[in-house]
Structure 1
Amino acid sequence: MPSINVSLKDGASADQLDAAKKQVTDQGGKITNEFKLIKGFTAEFPADKVHSLQSNEHLNVEADGQVKTQ
């Protein structure tokens, strides 16, 4: 399963983050890391279900990966 980062957009409530976490686990995913500085998490999530999170207007969803500086 690919890893994805999920974070709340500005103005979204903590309840919407909790709902996203529940959606991940209900659809066979696993939360692997919860962020402390921003409202979000990393999860292993089935690739064929990612669209269900991406369609949520309160969430930013992106592939998890290594970040490099120049």
Structure 2
Amino acid sequence: MDDRLSKAEIRKDALQEIVESGASTVGDVTSIITTAVKDIANAIGGFATDVFEIRDGARRASKTLADDITDA
């Protein structure tokens, strides 16, 4: 009994490994990109929150200063 694989079966197995490896790599890259986009959106959102807080603080400070000037 001959247990050797035919050339066609060897090629099929090699192609199958290539496709599986490619699919795994695409999944890994997709996960990396998804995480990066999420982190970037989170960072930009945090920055926007800081800008709003700074703007509101500056408005309150200007109003307080204007009130102090009119009261004097």
TM-score (norm 2): 0.23
Q: Which has the larger share of helix?
A: 2
Q: Which has the larger share of strand?
A: 1
TM-score (norm 1): 0.23
Higher relative contact order (CA 8 A, sep 6+): 1
